A and B are shown apart, each in its own frame.
Chain A
């Protein structure tokens, strides 16, 4: 039982990461990952939607027929996104203004529909909820990593405006890493997003390769001795 949850967590965070492996949801990813704070806000909003949609879709999976499943999934996701959109507008208004159009566009994030189709509609409620949380967390991690890389290289800061998202205590997170920095505009612009994402993908594959090489050598050792 717990083995299943470990598997889900591993898939969501690393082995089947939405951004780094599935390469889904790239439009919001590239559009709002200019800073780490924007990435975190977008990631948290998407995670909330994924958790709730996993739970709801899993709970109705017995009563919807395959023919109408896609419209129903989209409706459920749209309702949830609207809720998130309105709550963010109410409680983190400044961040909502910065993320702008991309919050409503979470509806069209293919990663969420993809998880609904591939996992939530075929599993019981608790695993579906857990899968939504882990996939969302993996998405958030990738977004924050990408946003942090672009922010450091592009404008020399880290977690700028974090106070808008997390409250006043977070202003201690806001770092100016390189004082008197001119800025590297290209990295902030969308092409920079593609370039940095490419570097991250290469980095992940490199780590995977190193890990598999090590596990192979561990497996080989007993037979050699």
Chain B
């Protein structure tokens, strides 16, 4: 007699796997990444490849040291995605070792020390970015004007090798402040910020991405498209991105209304820096964000609030990484107080008892 033991439930599931989620997120990131490659040329591509390669090698090493199955965890693509997200937030012409050191920190300290995939408290890519920003402020704030691939002034492949791996600074390159950095400096000097002083097309340019900035952060529109794809595919829900961008826009609008000279308008806030990348791809990290819907709304709103506070009053021109890390630290607390109701029980976890409550009502 054949004895078949049934597999434990659930018997029907959506076919979702870590692998599929990671692949879809990468797919959603691809347009903005390709635009970054095009705008910033070969140095950006080399930095991207170095970061991803280091992330994968670090993951391999950590898995081997921990005695876990290397193939199974390496092929789920999570290390690749962490490296990818980190590379998106680096200045495109940063030297290769910033990407390599960042990937090592992200994978080894940000992720594997906590026990690998699904165990980390903080978003690994953002941990690495903050470590790099604090440790190497010079390299991490040197942004380039876009020099599209194959345009006359763009560095060729050989020159790009020198930029990424050597100590070479090309004469043609124009380093430039990001929009947020420029605003911060001007206001710091007491010069009132006048939106009209920027040329009329600048808002369009900064939403399309043709401005100085990190490799994959500049194009708000392409990132938004990718984010909508993720929502459509149900990898993420609308709660965190909407709460984060909504809070940011609301605060910006409010303060801009009070004093348009001192506070920048909401559209600039939304389209510059890492706001859109952070809202759709970084704050929504499944591991480090709250479980319940109310919790996610609170988490997103907290991120938006912190981004606005850091951009406006703190020392750094951009604060998405700090904001996400701070809210990551609050996630266990949020999950503790905003638990989803268990099926068949009330919000305090007591079993529902219709008979008793009905009889109570009659009395």
A186 in contact with B131 (CB, 8 Å): yes
Chain A CB within 8 A of B135 CB: yes
**Chain A residues, CB < 8 A from B286:** none
A184 in contact with B109 (CB, 8 Å): no
**Chain B residues, CB < 8 A from A182:** 136, 138-139
The residue on A at minimum CB distance from B136 is A182
* Per-residue contact bits, chain A 80-107, to B (CB 8 Å; 1 contact, 0 not): 0000000000000000000000000000
B131 → chain A closest CB, angstroms: 5
**Chain A residues, CB < 8 A from B136:** 182, 184-185
A185 in contact with B113 (CB, 8 Å): no
B135 in contact with A185 (CB, 8 Å): yes
**Chain A residues, CB < 8 A from B138:** 182
Chain B CB within 8 A of A198 CB: yes
B134 in contact with A195 (CB, 8 Å): no
Whole-angstrom distance between the alpha carbons of A182 and B113 in the complex? 27
The residue on B at minimum CB distance from A198 is B113
B134 in contact with A185 (CB, 8 Å): yes
Which secondary structure characterizes the binding site on chain B? helix
**Chain B residues, CB < 8 A from A186:** 131, 134-135
Whole-angstrom distance between the alpha carbons of A77 and B113 in the complex? 38
**Chain B residues, CB < 8 A from A184:** 135-136
B121 → chain A closest CB, angstroms: 14
**Chain B residues, CB < 8 A from A195:** 109
The residue on B at minimum CB distance from A183 is B135
Whole-angstrom distance between the alpha carbons of A186 and B130 in the complex? 10
The residue on A at minimum CB distance from B138 is A182
Whole-angstrom distance between the alpha carbons of A33 and B113 in the complex? 23
The residue on A at minimum CB distance from B105 is A186
Whole-angstrom distance between the alpha carbons of A183 and B134 in the complex? 11
Within residues 139 to 196 of chain A, which ones have a CB less than 8 A from any CB in chain B?
Answer: 182-187, 189, 195
Whole-angstrom distance between the alpha carbons of A184 and B109 in the complex? 15
Whole-angstrom distance between the alpha carbons of A184 and B105 in the complex? 12
Within residues 120 to 160 of chain B, which ones have a CB less than 8 A from any CB in chain A?
Answer: 131, 134-136, 138-139
The residue on B at minimum CB distance from A206 is B65
A64 → chain B closest CB, angstroms: 46
**Chain A residues, CB < 8 A from B135:** 183-187
Whole-angstrom distance between the alpha carbons of A176 and B139 in the complex? 23
**Chain B residues, CB < 8 A from A185:** 134-136
**Chain A residues, CB < 8 A from B139:** 182
Whole-angstrom distance between the alpha carbons of A195 and B131 in the complex? 12
Whole-angstrom distance between the alpha carbons of A184 and B131 in the complex? 9
* Per-residue contact bits, chain A 185-213, to B (CB 8 Å; 1 contact, 0 not): 11101000001001000000000000000
**Chain A residues, CB < 8 A from B134:** 185-186, 189
Whole-angstrom distance between the alpha carbons of A218 and B109 in the complex? 36
The residue on B at minimum CB distance from A185 is B135
B112 → chain A closest CB, angstroms: 12
Whole-angstrom distance between the alpha carbons of A195 and B135 in the complex? 14
Whole-angstrom distance between the alpha carbons of A183 and B136 in the complex? 8
Whole-angstrom distance between the alpha carbons of A195 and B114 in the complex? 13
**Chain B residues, CB < 8 A from A187:** 135
Pick from B109, B131, B134, B135 the residue with the most CB of A within 10 Å: B135
B326 → chain A closest CB, angstroms: 15
B227 → chain A closest CB, angstroms: 31
Whole-angstrom distance between the alpha carbons of A189 and B130 in the complex? 13
**Chain A residues, CB < 8 A from B109:** 195
- Chain B residues engaging chain A, CB cutoff 8 angstroms: 109, 113, 131, 134-136, 138-139
**8 pairs from A and B in contact (CB 8 Å cutoff):** A182-B136, A182-B138, A182-B139, A184-B136, A185-B134, A186-B134, A189-B134, A195-B109
Instruction: List 9 other contacts, CB 8 Å, given A185-B134, A189-B134.
Output: A182-B136, A182-B138, A183-B135, A184-B136, A185-B135, A186-B134, A187-B135, A195-B109, A198-B113
